[in-house]
Amino acid sequence: MRIAGQRNRGIVAALVACAVSAKLGATHVFAETPAHKATASCPGGSTGITLPNGFCATIFADKIGHARQLAVAHDGTVFVNTWSGVYYGNDKPHEGGFLVALKDTKGTGQADVNVRFGQTFAEGGHGGTGIALYKHWLYAELNDRIIRYDLKEGETAPAGQAETILSGMPITGDHPMHPFAIDAQGNLFVSMGSATNSCEVKNRMPHSPGNVPCTELETRAGIWKYDANKAGQVFSAKERYVSGIRNPEGFDFDTSGRLIATQHGRDQLHEDWPELYTANQGFELPSEEVLIVKGGAWYGWPQCYFDPAQKKLVLAPEYSGDGGKKIGDCDKAEPPVAVFPAHWAPNDLKLYKGSQFPKPYAGGAFIAFHGSWNRAPGPQEGYNVVFQPLADGKPSGPYVVFADGFAGKYKEPGRAAHRPSGLAVGTDGALFISDDKAGRIWRVTFNGDPNITGIEAAPSLAVEAKASPDVLPPEGIHPDAGIEAAALPVPPGATSKEVALGKRIFHGEIAGATCAGCHGADGIGTPVGADLSSGTWLWGDGSLVAITDTIRNGVLEPKEHPGAMPPMGGVELSDENLQAVAAYVWSLGHKGEKN
């Protein structure tokens, strides 16, 4: 089993599609290995990811937009839902509709048919996450609706108009996406993620208590049940099926008909409650979860979170928790069946029901981890696909990282090359993986020994971390070690030394600051935090005084991004450190200007 903290932190030097069983030392520079040679037996060559021995990947499609979840039809057509909006910096959406039909008609492992359809951005569409097939229909999330298309024989993409099955879903707050699943009886189970982090009076603000009662649970943080055969349904509180799941995104049914779902755990235990949780506890709490969905059950949110060290649900600080000792009503909540490292972000889950992969994979769960933003100032983690063996709804062994290397050189949301988001298993048993950063789809197949009896992890191919010869540890272990901020402009009244100090604070090298977690390295922005290098200032005139005040007071209700900013970024900053990080932020927004 590979968990956070046990993996080499070096920079990925080479990533391949077919993996090798040879283990590489954590400090070896990657050169020619059997993995390089093995790519010749995998169609398409290197695809930027690593896999266990015997598995191959091809780039099935690329640059198709912010690809979220997928569904594969019986004829091999892969349908993908893509998304747009503030989560992606309001970048220009792809031409055409947000739904994509992909098909490989030549057997190369790469789609040679690529058709976009559905409502376009110009027509008011913004795309979505959820997508599923049921009978002869294709269902997809679009804006605040779930729509369906009639699939007709011979059509790659449906030519007819969509019909609305469900409308009026909430699309505000922290989790506006709506993944869903449809069982064999036509029951439509839809995610309604929470609007807040922990149902606080003031979302994501330090020491803000939780609302009592949490009325948000009436319409959010749970799974709702509808009829996939019925058009014209309207969202309301009364169709709630289960409650207390903060953000359920991955769904699938096992062979017994049980609905399995993932949950994104809460954020900011350390930032909001530093007297109760250390920075390291903030990195590792709480667990991400896999749940068996049972009608009428409560899964603990917002009062509870899962502590992996204690292996139980404990009381959240917003609801009189004391850092993990009190239980409160958490013993009444439905516990998870499997847990994973904090903040990895499980965006999808698919149980393997195909026959192509070896027997140890049968019935187990593949989970796409989107990758963390809120483990700063520690290293970000996730950005992988995990395999969890399951038997009768319970883990039958430790999980392994099945596919890795998606992020490339930088494991952080602003600079990651790719971020796994969706999964689907084709009728031939191939596994499809989507990426909502660069719009890539991988197709994973198995061509190794079908009689293997064990499950192995994808190799982690890395190079030795190289420090600047002029800088001693700990600075020397950072990729940018020894680089001063001399090239940045200096704000009036500040000094270049203050800017350099501010850079170190911003990136979490000192003072425990978490700025880079939300705003990305060098302030380039992430899905939850603004691009500070753009020169656009929403909370003042861009002066050093205005920036200092914004950092000191925080941002309770962001104008263009989903992530609220606590005062001082959620840490204790001295006046000196506050002035320094404000000077650095000023310099980021004035790059290219002469002093």
Give the mean pLDDT of 356-369: 98
Q: Is 275 left (phi over 0), alpha (psi -120 to 50) or beta?
A: alpha
**Confidence at residue 466, expressed as pLDDT on a 0 to 100 scale:** 29
Please give the C-alpha separations between residue 461 and each of 7, 46, 327, 364, in angstroms, as whole numbers. Answer: 11, 13, 42, 25
What tens digit of pLDDT does each residue of 393-415 get? 999 999 999 999 999 999 988 88
CA-closest candidate to residue 389, choices 402, 379, 380: 402
Q: pLDDT confidence of 515, banded at 50, 70, 90?
A: confident
**Confidence at residue 594, expressed as pLDDT on a 0 to 100 scale:** 59
**Confidence at residue 534, expressed as pLDDT on a 0 to 100 scale:** 83
Cα distance between residue 224 and residue 169, in whole Å: 10
pLDDT at 345 over 80: yes
Cα distance between residue 164 and residue 149, in whole Å: 9
Cα distance between residue 337 and residue 334, in whole Å: 9
Which residues have C-beta within 8 Å of that of residue 345, sequence separation ≥ 6?
A: 264, 288, 369, 370, 371, 372, 382
**CB-based contact 441:434 (threshold 8 Å):** yes
**CB-based contact 525:577 (threshold 8 Å):** no
Cβ atoms within 10 Å, residue 21:
12
pLDDT at 474 over 60: no
Domains of the chain plus CATH, in order, are: 34-446 (2.120.10.30), 475-589 (1.10.760.10)
**Confidence at residue 536, expressed as pLDDT on a 0 to 100 scale:** 84
* Chain centre to alpha carbon of residue 166: 26
**CB-based contact 414:525 (threshold 8 Å):** yes
What tens digit of pLDDT does each residue of 308-340 get? 999 999 999 999 999 999 999 999 999 999 999
What tens digit of pLDDT does each residue of 58-105 get? 999 999 999 999 999 999 999 999 999 988 888 899 999 999 999 999
Cα distance between residue 239 and residue 295, in whole Å: 11
Q: pLDDT confidence of 509, banded at 50, 70, 90?
A: confident
pLDDT at 517 over 80: no
Residue with tokens 């009428």: 296
pLDDT at 49 over 80: yes
Q: pLDDT confidence of 592, banded at 50, 70, 90?
A: low
**Confidence at residue 34, expressed as pLDDT on a 0 to 100 scale:** 31
Cα distance between residue 508 and residue 502, in whole Å: 10
Cα distance between residue 7 and residue 22, in whole Å: 16
**CB-based contact 260:363 (threshold 8 Å):** no
CA-closest candidate to residue 509, choices 473, 463, 533: 473
CA-closest candidate to residue 245, choices 267, 262, 257: 262
Q: pLDDT confidence of 41, banded at 50, 70, 90?
A: low
Cα distance between residue 478 and residue 329, in whole Å: 43
* Chain centre to alpha carbon of residue 64: 18
Cα distance between residue 303 and residue 292, in whole Å: 19
Question: Looking only at Cα atoms, what is the longest distance across the chain?
Answer: 71
Q: pLDDT confidence of 112, banded at 50, 70, 90?
A: very high
**Confidence at residue 504, expressed as pLDDT on a 0 to 100 scale:** 85
**Confidence at residue 45, expressed as pLDDT on a 0 to 100 scale:** 67
Give the mean pLDDT of 342-351: 98
pLDDT at 29 over 90: no
Q: What is the mean pLDDT of the chain?
A: 86
Cα distance between residue 220 and residue 199, in whole Å: 10
- Residue 288, SS3? strand
CA-closest candidate to residue 583, choices 510, 501, 526: 501
Which residues have C-beta within 8 Å of that of residue 382, sequence separation ≥ 6?
A: 341, 343, 344, 345, 369, 370, 371, 372, 411
**CB-based contact 373:87 (threshold 8 Å):** no
Lowest-confidence region among 202-216, 395-409, 443-457, 506-520? 506-520
Beta bridge partners of 226: 188
Lowest-confidence region among 138-142, 326-330, 415-419, 503-507? 503-507
- Cβ-count burial of 272 within 10 angstroms (0-12 exposed, 13-18 middle, 19+ buried)? buried
**Confidence at residue 462, expressed as pLDDT on a 0 to 100 scale:** 55
What percentage of residues in the chain have a pLDDT greater than 70? Answer: 88
**CB-based contact 51:459 (threshold 8 Å):** no
Cα distance between residue 457 and residue 537, in whole Å: 45
